[in-house]
């Protein structure tokens, strides 16, 4: 195969490849516009009917989400604002504080001295009861 033949072959392959890429781009552009229009219609109909925009559950008052999706959105936004170095510092400090309070026989939650009836040796009765009431 001569050099000229190789160049012709490369040119045709390049032309085919570029046309294929352009086709894929056009399909993606068409799919995005069609899909976004349908998604907007779906969200609007859900808003009007009082449903979550992601599922068929009822909305929470003053929101466009159900309880589950509102929780997920808030969790995602909370994670995005966290700084990793602060989390590491909190983790280390929390461990050392807990260990220090356990060695001093104090409640981990409120730092009050533990009595004989304390649960698990780390919480006083008041904190234990309040955690049970709130469901933690």
- Tell me the mean pLDDT in the region 11-25: 68
pLDDT at 91 over 80: no
- Residue the block writes with tokens 């309040």: 130
| Radius of gyration over every alpha carbon of the chain, rounded to an integer in angstroms | 30
pLDDT at 33 over 70: no
Can you tell me the distance from the alpha carbon of 23 to that of 13, in angstroms, rounded to the nearest whole number? 15
Backbone region of residue 114 per phi and psi (left: phi > 0; alpha: psi in -120 to 50; beta: other values): beta
- pTM tops 0.75: no
Where along the chain do its domains lie?
Answer: 1-49
Can you tell me the distance from the alpha carbon of 120 to that of 113, in angstroms, rounded to the nearest whole number? 14
pLDDT for 136? 43
């Amino acid at each position: 195969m001569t050099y000229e033949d190789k160049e012709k072959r490369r040119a045709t392959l390049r032309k085919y490849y570029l046309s294929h890429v352009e086709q894929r781009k056009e399909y993606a552009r068409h799919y995005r516009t069609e899909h976004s229009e349908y998604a907007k219609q779906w969200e609007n109909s859900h808003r009007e009917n009082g449903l979550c925009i992601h599922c068929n559950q009822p909305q929470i008052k003053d929101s466009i989400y159900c309880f589950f999706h509102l929780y997920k959105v808030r969790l995602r936004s909370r994670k995005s604002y966290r700084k990793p170095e602060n989390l590491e510092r909190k983790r280390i400090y929390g461990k050392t504080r807990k260990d220090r309070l356990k060695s001093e026989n104090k409640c981990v939650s409120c730092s009050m001295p533990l009595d004989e009836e304390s649960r698990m040796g780390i919480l006083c009765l008041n904190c234990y009861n309040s955690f049970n009431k709130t469901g933690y």
